[in-house]
Amino acid sequence: MKTRIALIAHDKKKDDMIALATEYREFLSGCTLVATGTTGGRLVNEVGLQVDRKHSGPFGGDLQIGSLLVEGMIDCVIFLRDPMTPQPHEPDINALVRACDVHNTPCATNMASAHLVLSQLQLRAQP
Ligand SMILES: O=C(CO)COP(=O)(O)O
């Protein structure tokens, strides 16, 4: 089965997400990807990945991804959060990260941990 990865980035972290996805493009193109709306749009347009786009984060996208995760449909979350900017949907963000902890799902919230998680997943996917 393909690895199912959720990709989410706050506005000031979206360029980092694009750089990350570009670096791991070959691996990610073999995964099943889901993303919040704006992040997903950029991944499609700028990296050429196939992504199931949910609503934008402030409109419930984090909750949609959280729901998928609770249903056992997501193996890993890359969520590049912006710790310096208050978000109107902070409760949704916390709910998603909490759901990762409740269900013991890897959740990388910064570039350093995202690299560790993706490089390890990529290694495991090799024949
Ligand atoms: O706000 C977000 C995550 O909390 C991300 O949403 P967008 O990808 O739509 O910007």
For the stretch 5-51, pLDDT in tens is: 999 999 999 999 999 999 999 999 999 999 999 999 999 999 999 99
The closest alpha carbon to 56, from 40, 71, 44, 74, belongs to 40
User: Which atom of ligand 1 is least distant from the CA of 39?
Assistant: 8
Q: How does strand 32-35 pair with strand 76-80? A: unpaired
Give the domain range for residue 93: 4-125
Q: What are phi and psi of 106, to 5 degrees?
A: -55, 135
**Catalytic residue list:** 62
Q: ipTM value of the model?
A: 0.98
The answer to whether the annotation marks 14 as part of a ligand binding site is yes
CA distances 117 to 28, 84, 91, 109, 127, Å, are 12, 23, 25, 11, 18
Number of domains present in the structure of the chain? 1
Q: Provide the CATH number for the domain around residue 77.
A: 3.40.50.1380
Q: Which amino acid residue places its CA nearest to atom 3 of ligand 1?
A: 57
| Nearest protein CA to atom 10 of ligand 1, as residue | 38
Would you say the CB of residue 109 lies under 6 angstroms from ligand 1?
Answer: no
CA–CA dist 25, 37 (Å, integer): 19
In eight-state DSSP terms, residue 110 is: S
Three-state secondary-structure class, residue 123: helix
